[in-house]
Structure 1
Amino acid sequence: MKPSHTIRPVFDESNLVSAAGLVPALRLAESAGLYGLVEGLTVPSPNAGVKTASVVGGMLAGADSIDDLDLLRHGGMGRVFDGVRAPSTLGTFLRSFTHGHVQQLDKVSGALLAGLARQVPALVNSGARAQGIAFVDVDDTIREVHGYAKQAAAYGYSGVRGLNVQLATLSTEVAAPVIVRARLRRGNVASHTGAGQLLAQALGTARAAGVSGPVLCRADSAYYGHAFVATALRHGVWFSVTVRMNPQAKAAIAGIGEDAWTPIRYPHAVWDEAEQRWVSDAEVAEVPFVAFTSRRKAEQVTCRLIVRRVRRLQPLAGDGSEQGELFAAYRHHAFITNSDLDTIEADQRHRGHAIVEQVIAELKDGPLAHLPSGKYAANAAWVAMATIAFNIARAAAVAADMATARWATLRRKIINVPARIATTGRRLILHLPARWAWAEHWTTLHTAATGPPPATTT
């Protein structure tokens, strides 16, 4: 592929837009109540709702810094959208946020997710598969920052200087994850700090979004603490939390007999037809367990300790040959749960916690590529708006029959599509590229965004 002619570029077309997919995406958000919700913000800045929508729109189109928000101001964008603001105006707006205003944005995010779930029922669908289980996953990540002007930046557990983003996602067996709660924290905060409050807020948002069946709350060993588990119990949901290898856990694992281990389907497992079982280096077992015995008796939690063990690879000899092993050595991974799933399924569901890493990766590949301001509250507002944009993008992907598409894929195929504006009477017509490979998906999203809301069923 090479240019076919000598080409002279001229930037003079006022009827072109480069992100025509923002039209159906923001129409979908409008039908879910976005503009009414952001009008309730009490930020001391004129037209706070309009500016918030402008930042969210820029994020949907790929902006990952305040200067990048200028991508909304070109060609015919001013004819297609109202309320587009300059990056300098939006930067000043972000710096006017306080912690209370960020909490207002969190409330907007939760209410918008509920509205999106009503408009696109498949967005949060607990279905009949996997016993109708919905999964709430909690994790955090360090977003590296540079410069001495970043408020609250510090060296965290990753050894880099940054700010900590904690988030909770909601997913099912048939629905990709959406973000039900996210918040920015100082860089050196412990992962589990505030986990109970975050989980309670996430569960409230999940229920408001239509989750009515059983919920399994999953987390890694950084969240192994009473606050997380007690919050799950208080809300009547299941928990599945990786255990720290403390002496109590090690003693419980050592007490498991060899006949209690069951082979499981694991990477590189082989199905043995003769014995009708998986032949694998991975096995699972479970024992009764009482967690948090250092606390008073009323706060101790009786649950199940499920352990997965994987045989360690035998190191090769100096000449490259394989040595015989005197005894098998294993790596153990244990977690506690109060679910009524059988041992093998409980282990499988717990391993699914890794899906939250996909969401973190998508955010870092989008608006969280940077935390653009030196002011902490401005960056916290940026994270809250990124959450709103992520959920709109996820709803748009589902409405476009691209439920498995990641955010970058949605931007490339649906949102960042060029179009030419034409006028007929009082209507605008978007002339999109002929033979666009994803034209059918684009049209499906536009129909879902502009058509009547789906009929509710009881």
Structure 2
Amino acid sequence: MAESIPTARQAGCTGALILRGDSAFYSAEVVAACRAQDTRFSITAKLDRKVKAALAAIDPGAWTPIKYPRAVFDEQAGGWVSDAEVAETSYTAFTSKKGKRVTARLIVRQVKKKLDPPAADGQGELFPAYRYYPIFTDSPYTLLQAGSSIVITRCRSRPTPISSTVRSPSQDWTVNQGWMLAANLGHDLDCWVRLLTLHDQDDLERAEPDTMRYRLYHLPARLSTHARRRHLRIERSWPWAQAFVLAWQRLTQLPALA
């Protein structure tokens, strides 16, 4: 963090910076680095005993319903999520580390669990069960603004498995810079392919990179040349052959760069 935040400012980032990270970033050192660099933080808190106690202490009437403009798939919730509830409380983290405790906001999003297996017709649930997503943050935004950004950020960041520094291939920052650039370029290209060519394909519009790799990028096809023309011969039984052809046609119809 001590190197990446100044690098972001040197690259032209102005105004308030907010570090968003998953639970791998939940540490006193990361928060201290953010504050030393005049940067806000918004980090997924680990659901340990203390955090669970803080969640249990939230007044049931403090939860505020929120609805997202577009549903996003949540693996932990087991389906598409279009609404949830958010609440916040004050929380002091890292109390076991002398001189490094931090008090900030704990913003929590709760999503109702789906019944598994589904209840029989006419049989209701005895009591609702929820999944909780706590965010430890010093964000200046209001509860609804910050709560809505949790799921939006999660949706944007989930397809990229490179957000955590624990996945970096080297301990050398220069090597990691090149790797991070290449990985992000690949992720951006994948996003643009879906946005420009698969926006009306329900099963591919929001597909993750692993799904795109299996269905389109690892294509069971053969490229051949005949009469000075190239032919792509796709296996007829491949379920996503038409989707690939549609994407290819739309890409080739894009105007050339000036």
Report the alpha carbon displacement of residue 215 of structure 1 after superposing the two structures with TM: 0.8
1:338 corresponding residue in structure 2 = 138
Question: 5+ unaligned residues in a row in structure 1: which ranges?
Answer: 1-198, 270-279, 362-370, 410-435, 444-458
Q: Tell me which structure has the larger Cα radius of gyration.
A: 1
* Residue matched to 1:225: 27
C-alpha change, 1:389 and 1:285, in structure 2 (3 Å) is closer
Q: 2:102 aligns with which of 295, 298, 301?
A: 301
Query: Deviation per CA, 1:39-92, whole angstroms, max 9, x where unpaired?
Result: xxxxxxxxxxxxxxxxxxxxxxxxxxxxxxxxxxxxxxxxxxxxxxxxxxxxxx
Report what 2:10 is aligned to: 208
Determine the structure 1 residue equivalent to 2:156.
Answer: 355
Shift of 1:354: 4.5
2:211 aligns to what?
A: none
TM-score, length-scaled by structure 2: 0.60
Residues 392, 282 of structure 1: alpha-carbon distance in 2 compared, 3 angstrom cutoff: closer
- What corresponds to 2:192 in structure 1? 405
**Over aligned residues, Cα RMSD in angstroms?**
3.5
- The one-character-per-residue Cα deviations of 1:223-280 (angstroms, maximum 9, x if unpaired) are 21111111111111110111111111111111111110000014669xxxxxxxxxx7
1:291 aligns with 2:93: yes
Alignment of 1:438 with 2:238, yes or no, is no
Alignment correspondent of 2:230: none
Superposed CA offset, 1:287-332 (max 9, x none): 1111111122x311010011111112234578x4352222222111
In structure 2, C-alpha distance between the alignment counterparts of 1:250 and 1:232, rounded to whole Å: 25
**SS of corresponding position for 2:192:** coil
Give the equivalent residue in structure 1 for 2:115: 314
Q: Secondary structure at the match of 1:217?
A: strand
Tell me how far 1:406 sits from its aligned partner. Answer: 5.5
Distance change (3 Å), C-alpha of 1:263 and 1:359: same
In 1, the alpha carbon distance for the partners of 2:84 and 2:177 equals 40
Q: Distance in 2 between matches of 1:391 and 1:309?
A: 30
Aligned AA (1:215): L
Task: Identify unmatched segments of 5+ residues in structure 2.
Answer: 73-81, 163-168, 197-251
Matched length: 183
- Structure number with the bigger relative contact order (C-alpha 8 A, sep ≥ 6) is 1
Task: Give 1:391 deviation, angstroms.
Answer: 7.1
Q: CA deviation at 1:333?
A: 1.1
Q: Determine which of 117, 122, 128 is the counterpart of 1:328.
A: 128
> What's the TM-score, normalizing by structure 1?
0.35
In structure 2, distance between residues paired with 1:346 and 1:325: 31
- Aligned partners of 2:38, 2:177: CA distance in 1, in Å? 28
The code of the aligned residue for 1:405 comes to W
Letter in 1 for 2:34: A
Which is richer in strand?
2
Tell me the residue number matched to 1:282: 84
Q: Which amino acid aligns with 2:26?
A: Y
Q: Percent identity?
A: 33
What is the Cα deviation at residue 343 of structure 1? 1.0
1:60-71 mapped onto 2 (5 Å cutoff): none
> Secondary structure, in 3 states, of the residue corresponding to 1:350?
helix
CA deviation map 1:148-174 (0-9, x unaligned): xxxxxxxxxxxxxxxxxxxxxxxxxxx
Q: Which residue of 1 aligns with 2:205?
A: none
Distance of 2:180 and 2:58 partners within structure 1: 44
